[in-house]
Every structure is written in C-alpha cells, then in structure tokens.
Amino acid sequence: MADHRTAAARRPLISGNWKMNFNHFEAIQFVQKLSYLLGKDDLGEVDVSIHPPFTDIRSVQTVIDADKLQFALGAQHCHFDDTGALTGEVAPVFLAKLGVKYVIAGHSERRELFGETDEMVAKKVAAIQRHAMTPIMCVGETLDEREAGQTETKVLGQVHAGLTGRTAEQVASMVIAYEPIWAIGTGRTATSDDAQLVCAAIRAAVAAQFGAASAGALRIQYGGSVKAGTIAELIAQHDVDGALVGGASLDPDEFARIAKLGR
C-alpha cells in the first residue's frame, strides 16, 4: 500500500511522560544518563521528547542547552490563558519561553482526575499553537466504552471536539496520541492491530474534516503500557507514528531501548 504520510509524519516521535515523578536533581541525572545511551545516529532517525514535572523543566532545559542534546523539551499540561488570577496554573507562554516544544493536552488522567473537558482541551490546543509549540492531544476510550463497541465514537468525538477552530495547516503540525484508558499504567497494551485500526480511523476522520494533506502530515502516537518489547510491532503499523510512554520512560535504559526500537 502506498504511504499517504509525509516524510515528517513518518519520522517517529517517542515521548516520555514522567507524570508526577522525579525532582529536578533526579531529572538532571536522568537526562545525562539518557544522553549516553542515545547517540547522534539514533536521534537522527527518531524525535525524542521528555515531559518532566513543571519544577524540573528549567533544570532539564539547562542541561539540554549546555550539552547541546537533541532531546526536545516537553510539558505535561498547561492552562489556556496567558495570564490571570489562576492560582497554581502555568501559562503556555511561560513554557514557550523555556524552550518547550511539545505540550500534552487532554491526557486521560487530567480529564478523569482534574475535570478537563473537551472544550478546555480545544482551548489548550489553540493556546499551545498560539505560542508556536506543538500540542500532543490525547484521546482514548475506557474499558466499558470499548466493550460496548463505542471506541471509535468516543475517540473520534474527542478528536473532533479538540480540533475545534483549528485550520488545516494547524492540524497538520499537531500530534494526536491515541491512548486507550484501560491500557494506561495497567500493563495491558492494545494489540498492534487494534492500535492501527484506531489510529487509521483518526487519520481518516482528520482527512475528511481537514483534507488529505493535513491527515498525511499529522503524527499519531500510540500510548498505554508501551515497553521495549512492544514498540517495534506498534511502530511497524502504518498509522502509528510514535509512542507516548509513561511508566517505561522512568527507566533510562528501557526508554533508550524504546527510542532505538521505535525508529
């Protein structure tokens, strides 16, 4: 089958979502270790982003800059306003100033535990792009929804809602992460066929709404208990362009293996 994706979309993006793990000292040690494990050859073929907690970002940025590392700096979350009386929130413009490239929006943990709605996710996606960063917009179904045969309805509904107000060009430069909620942190992974099916459905829905060029340029990650032992089969799927890795991104050896095998 002819590959309908652009060269940029075919270059995998492996993202490590540390969630609420590692203080800034631990973060610096991790990045230094990872830099020994992943060489220029590896990073010539795969993009690797690291998403530490907010309190670590400045430290990680300093290491990346000082050692000229090729890792992209990421964040796990942000607010959609640039400023305001919003105690505890972090504005996307602050992240942009720190050299953050990728920001996760609508992770299922944010949606389920912190009440993030589709509408908020759409505003975050817009705010992240307004500051010239790349959103990684997460979508995914619960086990109940999967068992009720509602996977596509749920996932495509979230895709549609999250892309509200975006132009074809803006969608083309985004990342969407398909993360079945029942596979996150559970050790259960969607089969590579299942992952492919849903990722292909996402690309088709984007093509229908924004055109084939946007759909071909968009990168789609799979996430949910990705490990070194499962990445190769996932990445070999036609519509899987990378992985959002949680638990396995906390071990530099395992994460480096995932990045190498994810090329």
Quick check: helix, strand or coil at residue 174? coil
| Cβ count within 10 A of residue 123 | 18
| d(C-alpha 253, C-alpha 183), whole Å | 22
d(C-alpha 103, C-alpha 126), whole Å: 11
Q: Judged by CB under 6 A, which stretch of 87-95, 124-132, 165-173, 238-246 contacts ligand PGA?
A: 238-246
In this chain, which stretch among 73-81, 94-102, 165-173, 240-248 interacts with ligand PGA, using CB under 6 A? 240-248
Round to whole Å and give the CA distance between 32 and 156.
39
Per the CB < 8 A criterion, the answer to whether 189 and 226 are in contact is yes
Question: Whose Cβ is closer to ligand PGA: residue 34's or residue 172's?
Answer: 34
Q: What angle do CA 50, 156, 199 make, to 5 degrees?
A: 55
225 binds ligand PGA (CB under 6 A): yes
Regarding 216 and contact with ligand PGA (CB under 6 A), the answer is no
Nearer to ligand PGA, 127 or 136 (CB): 136
What span, in angstroms and rounded, lies between the C-alpha atoms of 125 and 178? 16
Active-site residue, selected from the candidate residues 109, 116, 145, 179: 179
d(CA 155, CA 124): 18
Residue in 216, 242, 246, 262 binding ligand PGA, rule: CB under 6 A:
246
C-alpha torsion 17→18→23→25, nearest 10: -70
Which range in 82-90, 142-150, 245-253, 254-262 contacts ligand PGA by CB under 6 A? Answer: 245-253
Q: Does 259 bind ligand PGA (CB under 6 A)?
A: no
Residues 164-193 that bind ligand PGA (CB under 6 A): 179, 184-185
**Per rule CB under 6 A, is residue 247 in the interface with ligand PGA?**
yes
User: Is 131 among the catalytic positions?
Assistant: no
Query: In angstroms, what is the minimal distance from the CB of 224 to ligand PGA?
Result: 5
Which span sits near ligand PGA by CB under 6 A: 35-43, 144-152, 163-171, 244-252? Answer: 244-252
116 catalytic residue (yes or no): no
Which of 214, 151, 147, 149 lies closest to 178, judged by CA?
A: 151
**In which residue are the tokens 């492919």 written?**
196
Burial class of residue 207, CB neighbours in 10 A (0-12, 13-18, 19+)? middle
- Say what angle helices 24-37 and 252-261 make with each other, to 10 degrees: 40
1-20 residues near ligand PGA, rule: CB under 6 A: 17
Q: In the complex with ligand PGA, which residue's Cβ is closer, 106 or 216? A: 106
Q: Is 122 in the site for ligand PGA (CB under 6 A)?
A: no
- From candidates 121, 245, 258, 261, binder to ligand PGA by CB under 6 A: 245
The catalytic residues are 107, 179
Residues of the shown chain interacting with ligand PGA in the complex, contacts defined by CB under 6 A: 17, 179, 184-185, 223-226, 244-248
